[in-house]
């Protein structure tokens, strides 16, 4: 066991040495441009779902309704929907029902012929509503 470990260790050291030499040999001038630094964006959650940590109408909800709801809940509504969900003012009076229909259950969208929100997006909508549906 110790012996095997020793060989792996030597191999790892050699690989590291040659790896470093190899990289610096190809680097030719050492430009930092090929290091892609991600922009520090406080609006983006650490959990990598790409959704804002503190959802607002402007950074999240408007886009959610546009993407998943407005193809029926437009102004005037079509496909038997009964109210529009296009503007912040449209959405506010419906928050309780929206939470029931699109967060607690997946009743809405009413069909599956268009894009459907992911579980993470539904949860984020719930967080937005629970936070008092801030506009910005
Ligand atoms: C394919 C068309 C369609 C889409 C897309 C759609 N809806 Fe609806 N929605 C309807 C129809 C039709 C009704 C009325 C009949 C019903 O309640 O099922 C309705 C009703 C509702 C109601 C009221 C339900 C009640 O019983 O009071 C809410 C709230 C709602 N929709 C929210 C949403 C939200 C949020 C989205 C987007 C995530 C959405 N809908 C997407 C067609 C749609």
Q: What percent of the chain has pLDDT over 90?
A: 64
Within a domain: residue 65?
yes
How many structural domains is the chain composed of? 1
Within a domain: residue 47?
no
The 10s digit of each residue's pLDDT in 25-66 is: 444 444 455 666 655 555 555 567 899 999 999 999 999 999
pLDDT mean over 71-95: 98
Instruction: Say if residues 51 and 124 touch (Cβ distance below 8 Å).
Output: yes
- Pocket lining: 91 vs ligand 1, CB cutoff 6 Å: no
According to the per-residue pLDDT averaged within each range, which of 11-15, 20-24, 74-78 is highest?
Answer: 74-78
Within a domain: residue 122?
yes
Within a domain: residue 1?
no
Give the end-to-end CA distance of the chain in Å, rounded to a whole number.
61
Burial of 73 (0-12, 13-18, 19+ CB in 10 A): buried
Instruction: Write out the residue range of the structural domain in which residue 120 sits.
Output: 57-130
Q: Which residue has the higher pLDDT, 11 or 133?
A: 133
Probe target for ligand 1 pocket from 71, 72, 102, 122, with the most ligand atoms within 8 Å of CB: 72
């Amino acid at each position: 066991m110790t012996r095997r470990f020793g060989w792996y260790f030597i191999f790892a050291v050699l690989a590291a040495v040659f790896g470093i030499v190899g990289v610096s040999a190809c680097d030719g001038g050492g430009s930092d441009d090929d290091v892609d630094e991600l922009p520090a964006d406080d609006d983006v959650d650490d959990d990598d779902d790409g959704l804002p940590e503190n959802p607002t109408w402007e950074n999240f909800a408007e886009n959610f309704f546009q993407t998943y709801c407005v193809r029926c809940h437009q102004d005037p509504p079509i496909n038997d929907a009964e109210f529009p969900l296009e503007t912040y003012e449209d959405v506010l009076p419906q928050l309780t029902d929206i939470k029931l229909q699109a967060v607690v259950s997946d009743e809405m969208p009413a069909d599956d012929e268009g894009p459907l929100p992911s579980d993470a997006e539904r949860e984020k909508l719930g967080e937005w509503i629970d936070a008092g549906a801030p506009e910005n």
